[in-house]
Amino acid sequence: MEEANSQILDHANSEFKKKNFKQAEELYTEFISSCLQSRKCTAGDLATAYNNRGQIKYLRVDFHEAVEDCTSAIQADSQFEIPFYNRGLIHYRLGKNRHFLTMVNGKINTKLTARQNKITYFRPVLSE
């Protein structure tokens, strides 16, 4: 079961990198559901799935759902800095500047983990 979960997460990350966001979101959701039912995945993988699914929601401008996923990522792995930053960025976009500064100053100076290359930071989408 754990190996199957790992393959789902890898496939989700691959689809995300290809910008197949609908497919990636479905796979992240499948991975999260499987993890919550079986309890056979690492906290880091679960946090990664929530964080990356949150970015997809952020890109569709579903800010409140994106905040929920970031919060779930933090609850899954409170040592994972990136969802703190991402959630703070959303609060900033929503005009909650003070909350953003608290979140960034509270977590941004800690070291990033080796998971960094598999994790996504929220970035504004710029039109060309």
Cα→Cα distances 34→1, 60, 75, 83, Å: 9, 25, 17, 21
Give the rounded percent of residues in the chain with a pLDDT score beyond 90. Answer: 51
Q: What pLDDT, on the 0 to 100 scale, is given for residue 122? A: 52
Q: Which domains does the chain have, with CATH numbers?
A: 2-118 (1.25.40.10)
Residue written as tokens 């290809």? 18
Which residues of the chain fall below pLDDT 70?
1-2, 96-128
pLDDT digits (tens, 9 = 90+) for 83-112: 988 888 888 777 765 544 445 544 543 334
pTM, full prediction: 0.74
